[in-house]
Structure 1
Amino acid sequence: MKKISILLLGIISLASCKNEPKPDLQEQTAVEENLEVSNEALESAVIYEANIRQYSPEGTFDAFTEDIPKLKELGVKVIWLMPVYPISETKRKATGDLSVEDIEDPEERKKYLGSYYAISDYTGINPNFGTREDFDELIKTAHENGMYVLLDWVANHTGWDHKWLTEKPEFYTQNEHGEPVDPLNPDTGESWGWTDVADLNYDNKELWDEMTNAMKYWIEEHDVDGFRADVAGEVPTEFWEQALPKLEENKEIFMLAESEKKDLFHEAFDMGYNWEGHHLKNELAKGNITVEEWDAYMQKIDTTYQQDDYLMNFVTNHDENSWNGTIRERMGEAAEAMTALTYTLPGMPLIYSGQEYDMDKRLLFFEKDTIPKEKGKMWPVLKKLGKLKNTNKALHGGKEAGDYLRLKTSADKQVLAFERSKNSSKVVYIANMSKEPVEFTLELDTALKNYLGKEGFEVQENNTYSFQPWEYVILINN
């Protein structure tokens, strides 16, 4: 797995001479903007998925840029931008199985903006979002606030308007008639249903060079800090491994794979998706499984991955929200306990646009929509969770993560209790992961104090506790 060197901060001694000239203000700003990716920062990071189209009524870079300082309040250190590139018009998705070509009314057609993942130009900017200058201002503002910016990269396929379809047809997977095809399920040979995109063929090594150069463009010309790779496991691991050294010729970058495929993390990616853990949280919330299945999963990943591999933990993202339901739909009353769990587990927690504002609707995927912007219950919860993640070493979740220790209770099928620790710091998470009240015993350090969750919780001498359904508490020792 690639190693990111930790940024060494030099200590500059101030000369005592009163007549020494003050540093130039422009030079100071340049230093602030020169943000470098470091393991140290990533250990305590929260990542934010920014859906630019739906983030504001305007749906622009500028509207999102204005709110970047607010995200800092939530402990955000990494911003993942959903695709910002022009979207193909040919075979553009509309509603259901329909494309825009199937809709006769020209006014009706206009409202369908297509999938962000049907890209017509890898080095272009979606004009609906703004200009290149607007994009650069977003990057600059994020860096000034100590945040890295990742671009969503779609290496598996392009939209049907991409110039390669006419100039480089050999870049695409073709049927027996020599026609490009949409992506196929390798297990069945059937279409995934992504009819608005054409599948790329990585048997062609010239494609590797073109794709790598397109990624490199955004680092060199726009100072992005890395990439979130869409369906990363469907692209050969060897492509990512050959690309990384070229992408890092001038600066270290951060790589997030939309995959749990362990081979991706050996030389190419820093972090992957905790898809299996996410699905287990959904099943726990529905009462379909018990905590025993969760414990088995934690034991499995401990032996599956290398010590410095880590995963992104989430209760929602753009796919889950639009296609599988809101947090409330999937998790019901367990929503807050599951959200707190994503922050206390090893790894990095994700916030998806609107989650911080208690969003309880499925965002439209192919049309314009807007997230709510009123702070409710979740903003202060995420703020406290973000502060704890940022400041408590026990919750380090990257290459040097804090230890995870399952704590034994008298009701381990219903109660999940574990301790995270690093150096002298400890964080304990306890939750009733069931629909029924539960009374249980658990030995706890009397030095632990209530940080968030169950009101009035105190460590008891008799080690006996009662939790209501989905009730949780987070305890700290300092």
Structure 2
Amino acid sequence: MIHHRARRGVLAVLLGLAALAVTAHAANPYQPVPYVQFQHPEWSQDATIYQINTRQFTAEGSFRAAEKELPRLKKLGVGILWLMPIHPIGEKNRKGPLGSPYAVRDYRAVNPELGTLADLKHFVDRAHALGMHVILDWVGNHTSWDNVLRTTHPEWYDNDAKGQPRPTPWYDWDDIIDLDYSQPALRKYMTESMAYWVRDVGVDGYRVDAAGLVPQDFWDNASRELRVIKPVFMLAEWESRDMHAKAFDATYSWSWFDAMKNLAEGRADATSLHAYYAWNDKFYPREAYRLLGTSNHDKNSWEGTEFDIFGPATDSTIVFSFVSAGIPMLYNGQEAGNRKRLAFFERDPIVWQPSPYADLYRRLIALKKHNRALWNGAAGGRMEQVKNSDEKKIFSFVRAQGSQKVFAVFNFSAQPVHASFKDGPQIGTWRDFTTNATVRVDSATTFDLAPWSYKLFTQ
């Protein structure tokens, strides 16, 4: 734990560096100013995120039971463990028998259904001992109707003309009510609450729920204060470039998920991905981590499993999420090939079983760790398009970082394809990811690809 004087010293240094950058820019307005004004934790550069729905992760649904699974997750290779909200759940206007974890009743307490504060600390310590990091789900936009703040600080809520609290409009979020971030005291309380779990419990950052519904300047300051305590990883459930400047390491890529779903459903062709990757390459800063995944708690419960959503394109979409530009994540149970929509408001434990997906994820995570071309943000290689003979069906590219490279070819169509390629960065000798065979690729090389299949090569 850093002494408060040391923290003030670190903060002063950071503010001083920022002031120097502003001063330098004022002296020379043509001098570029870095868009991203903080450093990612070094341990996040090659990390894959694993989301844990503690309620459904084990038969017991507790931190202690989840802790027993940590050696398995270490073997799988994941680096960042995202725990869904760990706080007590509201009872007033509760949905279902157990309620939504996102209806928080007390930001400074632990949900007794999951265990004790000591159990959570033990989980975090054990994860750290195994070389993994833990982030908590933070629900800053709204609380349960019976949150402790409703009694102590009713003025911190977004109240209507009659002084009554209200939920976020238009959504069916009637089990929660919105906070009012025009209140400085609320901002201080929330920032200090986030700092508590980092400083005293040892967590390594946050996944922030509905991040864009809270003013950006709050996150900019809160993230700065957290980084004074220690390097933290911040993931925003939102899709916005501006969040990367001062606050968040990573943001969601819902547009990527939607584009892949359209492909799988035959409502678009492979060229539809060009717009996403053009924006990702030029509009977003190189340092930005864009979250890529084929499932999460929302998608699984409300839309279906990855098999429901992507159908025969599931395997290729999983691989694509690991080798294209972005930080990959998987939702608990995907490595078991889970085909069940997990209930959201009640206990519905995952049925764990042997599955070839465990080996697929393990190999993809290992490939990402060992090949710097696939690292996250600017630590990894940019995607360079490889022109092919059927752009509407085939998406092909090379990523390179130094001498390490990846060449990927995806048939994102329901038809078999005979593919050829123009001269480009794919020329060379490669190792086939699937067969481990050595393959020479030149201007005369062709591939026969089955529907929704892929070929992946590394150097």
Verify same fold: TM over 0.5. Answer: yes
Aligned pair 1:469/2:451, yes or no? yes
Work out the number of aligned pairs and report it.
420
Structure 2: how far apart are the matches of 1:457 and 1:391?
18
Structure 1: how far apart are the matches of 2:437 and 2:297?
36
Q: Is the 8 A contact 1:315 1:338 kept in 2?
A: yes
Match of 2:381 among 378, 402, 414: 402
Structure 2: how far apart are the matches of 1:416 and 1:293?
10
Unaligned segments of structure 2, at least 5 residues: 1-35
Within 5 A, what are the aligned runs for 1:170-249?
170-184=155-169, 191-249=170-228
Find the counterpart in structure 1 of residue 22 from structure 2: none
Aligned pair 1:257/2:236, yes or no? yes
Structure 1: how far apart are the matches of 2:440 and 2:414?
24
Aligned pair 1:4/2:6, yes or no? no
* Matched-pair identity in %: 36
CA-to-partner distance for each residue in 1:393-446, whole Å, 9 max, x for gaps?
Answer: 111113422121111100111011111110001111111100111112125434
Q: TM-score, normalised by structure 1?
A: 0.85
Within 5 A, what are the aligned runs for 1:51-450?
51-94=53-96, 112-184=97-169, 191-442=170-421, 444-450=426-432
SS of equivalent residue, structure 2 residue 433: strand
Q: Is the 8 A contact 2:429 2:439 kept in 1?
A: no
Find the counterpart in structure 2 of residue 15 from structure 1: none
Structure 1: how far apart are the matches of 2:52 and 2:441?
43
Structure 2: how far apart are the matches of 1:72 and 1:451?
22
Q: Is the 8 A contact 2:57 2:350 kept in 1?
A: yes
Unaligned segments of structure 1, at least 5 residues: 6-37, 95-111, 185-190
Letter in 2 for 1:334: A
Structure 1 range deviating more: 165-174 or 314-323: 165-174
Q: Is the 8 A contact 2:373 2:405 kept in 1?
A: yes
Q: Is the 8 A contact 1:313 1:348 kept in 2?
A: yes
CA-to-partner distance for each residue in 1:146-179, whole Å, 9 max, x for gaps?
Answer: 1111010000000111111122111111112110
Q: Is the 8 A contact 2:135 2:206 kept in 1?
A: yes
Q: Is the 8 A contact 2:430 2:441 kept in 1?
A: no
Find the counterpart in structure 2 of residue 26 from structure 1: none
SS of equivalent residue, structure 1 residue 124: coil
The offset of 1:245, in angstroms, is 2.4
SS of equivalent residue, structure 1 residue 335: helix
Runs of 4+ in 1 over 4 A off after TM superposition: 455-461
Q: TM-score, normalised by structure 2?
A: 0.89
CA-to-partner distance for each residue in 1:84-109, whole Å, 9 max, x for gaps?
Answer: 11000100012xxxxxxxxxxxxxxx
The offset of 1:63, in angstroms, is 1.1
The offset of 1:457, in angstroms, is 9.2
Structure 1 range deviating more: 407-416 or 66-75: 66-75
Letter in 2 for 1:56: T
SS of equivalent residue, structure 2 residue 231: coil
SS of equivalent residue, structure 2 residue 330: strand
Structure 2: how far apart are the matches of 1:317 and 1:457?
36
The offset of 1:120, in angstroms, is 0.2
Structure 1: how far apart are the matches of 2:118 and 2:455?
45
Letter in 2 for 1:300: W
Q: 1:263 to 1:138 in 2, by over 3 A?
A: same
Letter in 2 for 1:65: E
Structure 1: how far apart are the matches of 2:358 and 2:294?
15
SS of equivalent residue, structure 1 residue 224: coil
Letter in 2 for 1:93: K
The offset of 1:242, in angstroms, is 1.5
Q: Is the 8 A contact 2:157 2:178 kept in 1?
A: yes
SS of equivalent residue, structure 1 residue 419: strand
The offset of 1:375, in angstroms, is 2.0
SS of equivalent residue, structure 1 residue 288: coil
Structure 1: how far apart are the matches of 2:214 and 2:456?
40
Query: CA RMSD, aligned part only?
Result: 1.5
Letter in 2 for 1:149: V
CA-to-partner distance for each residue in 1:197-240, whole Å, 9 max, x for gaps?
Answer: 01011111111001111111101210111011101011000001
